Structure 1
Amino acid sequence: MNLSGVSWAAVLAGAAGAAALSYALVILGFGLGLSSVSPWAAAGASATTIGVATILWLTLTQIAASSLGGYIAGRLRVKWPTVHTDEVYFRDTAHGFLSWAVASLLVAAFLANAIAGVIGGGAKIAATTAGTAAAAAGVVATKAAGELDAQGYFVDSLLRAPPAAATDASLPAPASTDAQVRDEVGRIFATSIATGDLSAADRAYLGQVVARRAGIDPVQGEQRVNDVYVQFKQSVENAKTNAKEAADTARKASAGIAIWLFISLLCGAFFASLSATIGGRHRDVFVHGPRTAHR
């Protein structure tokens, strides 16, 4: 007589079937998802549609795979001829739950990195929002005028020609190429964004540089510097705002996916347990005849 309340062979068989079907359905879901997206504008499914479809597919995958695993575990378990009917139902339910648990652990073991990436993505992005915003500001500064170089900025300040050299024809013009001037202006702008404002000395110097290169009055040159700097600073602020909004959107999406994964797993546990009772009932009826109560 088998005295064990658990038929581990049936549990493992059900778990194997559930894991295999789950794997197959996930692969099918990937294929359907890739076929519904397109790199072309106004073509393919929208992000919202893909998100909802993914959630529904994961839930249906859990229900289908867990139901199969639970039914197999219940149908293949050892008969307990001397056990009360209520206890039989409980053991069948436990067998379905165990098959779901083992299958979930098997799937999680193979997809651990993917699961960790999905769930941890939101927390990681939220924790690095400030860094993302700073990086975005750096990207804007880089695109506008070269990478931020704090040491280069102070070297420029040390070797900077007097502002009079920009307008006094009796003094030699600074020996700088176009690229060097652009790099220097970029470093000044990038440093001013990092420190919070453009200093009066930098403003006056840039006004002289613009006046010489554009052939305008130094006052007009400084005004142009002010206008461009305001636009540049606003573009950096917009980049920071966009980075924060993107981080917040990603955080909410990751949180939603994690919650729906939890709900789908609960659905899987329920249907595995229910299917195991059905499988056990079929085994007792079709193989050993109707159940009889034992007290």
Structure 2
Amino acid sequence: MTPIERNFLDNPDKNRSGVSWAAIFAGAAGAAALSLILLILGVGLGFSAVSPWSNSGASAAAIGTSTIIWLAFTQIAASGVGGYLAGRLRVKWASMHTDEVYFRDTAHGFLAWAIASLITAGLLGSAIGSVISGGVSAGATVASTAVGAAGAAGVAGAAGVAGALPGGSDGSTAYIVDSMVRTNPASPDASSSAASTGTTSGAGAPANPAASDNAMKMEITRIFINGVRAKGLPPEDRQYLAQVIAKRTGLSPADADRRVADAYSRTQTAINNAELSAKQAADAARKTAAYTALWMFVALLCGAFVASLSATFGGKQRDHVVHHSTVTA
């Protein structure tokens, strides 16, 4: 017998692979399955605690705290079970040094946690991706909101300019435009002034007053949008609007000009408030995404530690098992 063959027979564990992949995959499968079950349970408990009614159900702070606690518990419990299985089911190394056995058990638990984490990430990839993309898009939302609010699309989204159009929804700008063209019932010339804004068609027949009124409101809305884009209402547009309002309502030119200035100021204030609200919402989403990512990192780190520690405990249990055999005569 050669020295190599004699060394192999005397120390079989030193010539065997230090990784028991069957035990690792078994522990990873157990950890991934338990993680999935606990996550589903957490989602169910979370939905049962949330209520759409005011002053009912758990608060947002309570939901956030409980989510963090449950995520940490899920990682610790699942990783502990998976690491213990990986350590307990691995091949016994009878002739290995204690330090080497301890290192291999720790590695088995860590590998089981790593594979289980990859499996869980694959199953829940869409949820994790939404958290990360939410943090990335939050910063871009802040800049795009400020730029978009200066244009027509931004004004329409932030201040509800679409509501000012005929048949549109009831937005803040629609109310401002309606209040600007509102006639004064106390004015004796209000009815005649309002009627004179309509055009005639055919043989002197008056045009549809509602269509003429809607067309005028649309024109005022477009002028306001252009003023918001230009960071100020041009003098010629302001003078034109004052003439239209004076003719429509019977007000004096000075009163009409003051009404136009007040309406534009309220429109600009509404847009600024909407832009500020959008920035605050984007900043809140950014903070939520950042905190979620950080706590997920902490929970996963705890899972890796618990899996490695549980694997060493399972390995010791495996090595200390004494098998009794019954000999029959």
TM over 0.5: yes
* Residue 127 of structure 2 corresponds to residue 108 of structure 1: no
Offset at residue 201 of structure 1 (A): 0.9
State yes or no: 1:244 paired with 2:279. yes
Deviations along 1:175-224, whole A, 9 cap, x unmatched? 36111111111111111111111011111111111112222112111110
1:20 alignment partner in structure 2: 33
Contact kept, 8 Å, 2:165 with 2:214, in 1: the verdict is no
Does 2:294 match 1:259?
Answer: yes
Q: Which digits, 9 at most, give the CA deviation of each residue in 1:51-106, with x for residues without a partner?
A: 11111111100000000000000000000111101111110000000000000000
User: Retained in 2: the 8 A contact 1:144–1:186?
Assistant: no
Name the counterpart of 1:181.
216
What does 1:184-195 correspond to in 2, within 5 Å?
184-195=219-230
Task: Show the 5 A alignment for 1:178-217.
Answer: 178-217=213-252
Question: What's the counterpart of residue 78 of structure 2?
Answer: 65
Task: Give the share of equivalent positions with the same residue, in percent.
Answer: 54
* Secondary structure at 1:286 match in 2: coil
- 1:243-266 CA distance string (max 9 Å, x none): 111111110110000000000000
- For the residue of structure 2 that corresponds to 1:203, the secondary structure is helix
Highest Rg: 1 or 2? 2
In the aligned structure 2, how far is the partner of 1:181 from the partner of 1:53?
55
TM-score, scaled relative to structure 1: 0.86
Q: Are positions 1:97 and 2:110 aligned together?
A: yes
1:235 maps to 270
Give the Å deviation of 1:113. 1.8
Query: Secondary structure at the residue paired with 1:128?
Result: helix
Q: Is the 8 A contact 2:197 2:248 kept in 1?
A: no
Distance (Å, rounded) in 2 between the aligned partners of 1:47 and 1:17: 33
Q: How far 1:173 moved relative to its partner? A: 4.4
The RMSD of aligned alpha carbons is: 2.0
Unpaired segments ≥5 residues, structure 2: 1-11, 167-192, 200-210, 325-329
Is residue 138 of structure 1 aligned with residue 173 of structure 2?
no
1:269 aligned residue (269, 284, 304): 304
Question: What is the CA-CA distance between 1:141 and the residue it aligns to?
Answer: 4.6
Equivalent-residue separation in structure 1 for 2:291 and 2:45 (angstroms) = 21
**Aligned-pair distance for 1:131?**
1.8
Supply the distance in 1 between the matched residues of 2:140 and 2:162 (Cα, whole angstroms).
Answer: 26
Q: Which letter maps to 1:142?
A: V
Q: Which residue among 40, 51, 59 is the counterpart of 1:38?
A: 51
Amino acid at match of 2:291: G
Aligned pair count reads 267
- Equivalent residue for 1:77, pick from 71, 87, 90: 90
Equivalent position amino acid for 1:285 in 2 = H
SS of residue matched to 2:320: helix
Query: What corresponds to 2:22 in structure 1?
Result: 9
| Structure 1 unmatched runs, 5+ | 148-168, 290-295
Q: Residues 224-253 of structure 1: CA distance to partner in whole angstroms, max 9, x if unpaired?
A: 000111111011011111111111111011
Q: Deviations over 1:20-58 (max 9, x none)?
A: 000000000000000000111111111111111111111
| 1:129 aligned onto 2:142 | yes
CA offset digits 1:154-192 (Å, max 9, x no partner): xxxxxxxxxxxxxxx9xx746361111111111111111
Classify 1:226/1:144 alpha carbon distance in 2 versus 1 (closer, same or farther; 3 Å): farther
Q: Partner amino acid for 1:75?
A: R
Q: Helix, strand or coil for the counterpart of 2:29?
A: helix
C-alpha distance in 2 between matches for 1:73 and 1:288 = 20
**Partner Cα separation in structure 2 for residue 231 and residue 211 of structure 1:** 19
Compare 7-16 and 138-147 and name the one that shifted more.
138-147
Aligned equivalents of 1:258, 1:84: Cα separation in 2: 40
